[in-house]
Structure 1
Amino acid sequence: MRSLLGMVEALLFVSGDPLSLKDLTKATEWDEDAVHDAVTALRQRYREQDSGLQIVLIDDGYQLATRPEYGETIGKLLAPHANRLSKPALETLTIVAYRQPATQAEVEAIRGVSCDGVLKTLQERELVYEAGRKQTPGRPILYATTTAFLHYFGLTSIDELPALPEDAPTESEQQAAKISLEAASAL
């Protein structure tokens, strides 16, 4: 009989996306408690073996991934700068992450510059997605972060984002600053 540990490990290896306990249970045809125990045992095995791999929990799903401490080495093999985000992309992504769902206009009001191209790039890289439409005139698109965003930043859920600093400007302060800058540039 095939080993449940082996089956779970193989499923996690071939899947490009996190797999929930339900997915693993369905594929292995074992009960959920046994599958959960197998995932726990595999996670422990990878830790004890000082492996370059680990099983991470991302948005209620498990995924086989490399350990962060080997990221630089892996980056040397793969395209050295392929996964880096530009400063505008990071700024835009940060605003979406903390304000989600957020419209393009809301992001631009905070950044002070157009970000339509940046949002398209973030969508192409599957870090943000269209989460619907805001119920206001014009029905602008609402953007939110994806599971790939969680994976990229090593987060289990959006709740793990660090708290914003107490001295961060409020939205009304940001709006007042934007109006002041627009008035100054008109002079």
Structure 2
Amino acid sequence: MGVQSELKSEDYHQLEMIETIDHSDRDEMEKYDIEETLPEEDLTSTEEGALEAVLFAMGESVDVAKLAQVIDKTPYQTQKILEKMREKYERPESGIMLLELNGSYQLCTKKQYYDDLIVIAKQPKKPQLSDVVMETLSIVAYKQPVTKAQVEQIRGVSSDHAINKLMEYDLIRELGRLDVPGRPILFGTTENFLRYFGVESTEQLPQLSPVQIEDYKAEAEAEMKATLDV
């Protein structure tokens, strides 16, 4: 019995040693795994820093394919990194945001800090659109590419002033010319239009209801009547 007890005690001691070695090996393996992942994490941080620097310096939207060239990644991999960055900027303590505009990305200040920004920047506030200008912009946004004649056909009145104002505000731009006699100019919305309304693409615009369309027609008729009365 004494021998068996001694053997059991010795076996137990050996098991303790094996367990200690096993824990030590696991610790080394975990340490090794952590050390193996660190370069990848550091690389991601470096890539985020490079993208942030480029977007900040450009001051305008940059296509994801061009950003991919900067960090030597595929557009898909780059977009994943950008989405991670966007989540970081969405935190309440951040004053900037990463905006996606039809496959391009741009760093912008958050809307709620605009009044604070203009204290230093002294930039005029974004233009207030009259009903007539807003109506014209809506037609361009939903019907683009569209000619001035097509806009006027929908509204029933001349739209020269509204079109010129929208061009001045950089909310619409010339997209080209329609391949018909006279080659009229085709108009469409700009990236500034997306920023103005806080959407990433025109697909996010709300659908117009038949009631809204009738309201537009009524407003156009009222405008035409007022013009004739003058």
Q: Give the shorter-chain TM-score range.
A: 0.7 to 0.9
- Structure having the higher helix fraction is 2
Question: What per-residue deviation string (whole Å, max 9, x for no partner) do you get for residues 75-112 of structure 1?
Answer: 55545754213313322211211121222122223344
Check if 1:65 corresponds to 2:79. Answer: no
CA RMSD of aligned residues (A): 3.0
Higher RCO structure (Cα 8 Å, ≥6 apart):
1
Check if 1:156 corresponds to 2:156. Answer: no
- Asked whether the equivalents of residues 58 and 150 of structure 1 are also in contact (C-alpha less than 8 Å), the reply is yes
CA displacement at 1:115 relative to structure 2: 2.4
Classify 1:72/1:89 alpha carbon distance in 2 versus 1 (closer, same or farther; 3 Å).
Answer: farther
Check if 1:35 corresponds to 2:78. Answer: yes
CA displacement at 1:119 relative to structure 2: 1.7
Moved runs in structure 1, 4+ residues, more than 6 A?
none
CA displacement at 1:8 relative to structure 2: 0.8
What is the CA–CA distance in structure 1 between the aligned matches of 2:91 and 2:217, rounded to whole Å?
49
CA displacement at 1:157 relative to structure 2: 0.9
Check if 1:90 corresponds to 2:134. Answer: yes
**3-state SS of 2:211 partner:** coil
**3-state SS of 1:129 partner:** strand
Check if 1:48 corresponds to 2:98. Answer: no
Question: What per-residue deviation string (whole Å, max 9, x for no partner) do you get for residues 50-93 of structure 1?
Answer: 20111111111111111222234335554575421331332221
What is the CA–CA distance in structure 2 between the aligned matches of 1:18 and 1:27, rounded to whole Å?
15
Moved more, 51-60 or 130-139: 130-139
Moved more, 57-66 or 119-128: 119-128
Instruction: Please report the TM-score for the alignment, with normalisation by the length of structure 2.
Output: 0.65
Q: Which runs of 5+ in 2 are unaligned?
A: 1-42
Larger Rg: 2
Classify 1:97/1:6 alpha carbon distance in 2 versus 1 (closer, same or farther; 3 Å).
Answer: same
Counting matched residue pairs gives: 179
**3-state SS of 2:94 partner:** coil
CA displacement at 1:31 relative to structure 2: 4.1
State how 1:1-187 maps to structure 2 within 5 Å.
3-48=46-91, 50-75=93-118, 77-79=120-122, 81-87=124-130, 88-169=132-213, 174=217
Percent pairwise identity: 33
